[in-house]
Every structure is written in structure tokens, then in C-alpha cells.
Amino acid sequence: MVEVHFLGPIGLDSIHCEAKNFKELKEELNKIDKLKEWLPLCAIALNDKIVQDSSDITFEDNDTISLLPPVCGG
């Protein structure tokens, strides 16, 4: 099981998910209506490291995934 954190303005509480890879995780997250607008915009971190290519990654129990929305500031 992995834990998924939604940072910044996404405004959702963390969830636990049984996904085994990023493809399965995306399928689960797409079921959450509020996330559909954020998913294409977010960077993704696995255990606090930004993921550039998620195609070959398999999750381990207790991994932490964070969705990082774009940030603007001045």
C-alpha cells in the first residue's frame, strides 16, 4: 500500500492506495472528480524525489507519492 499526498491548492486529504505502479495509480486518481483538473498539471514525487519517467517504476509497500501542483509567485 502507498500513501498519496496532495500538496498546495489541491486541497484534499492524503489517501492510501493499493496501486502497484503509476499506471494503476493514475487510474485510481482519475476516479476522484476534483483531481481531474490537477493531474495533467502536477509534478510527481516518489519518496520525496521528483519522477521524470514513471514507466518502469514499481511501488514498494509504504512508498509515499506526492502530487505537486504548479506554483507561481513573485
> What is the Cα–Cα distance from 31 to 29, expressed in whole angstroms?
5
Distances (CA, A) of 10 to 20, 32, 36, 66: 23, 12, 11, 11
Which among 66, 70, 68 is positioned nearest to 22, based on CA atoms?
66
**Residue 67 has what pLDDT?**
96
pLDDT band at 73 (very low <50, low <70, confident <90, very high): low
pLDDT digits (tens, 9 = 90+) for 8-59: 999 999 999 999 999 999 999 999 999 989 999 999 999 999 999 988 999 9
pLDDT band at 74 (very low <50, low <70, confident <90, very high): low
Using the structure block, give the residue that is written with the C-alpha cell 490537477.
38
Read off the amino acid at residue 11: G
Domains of the chain (ranges; CATH) run 2-68 (3.10.20.30)
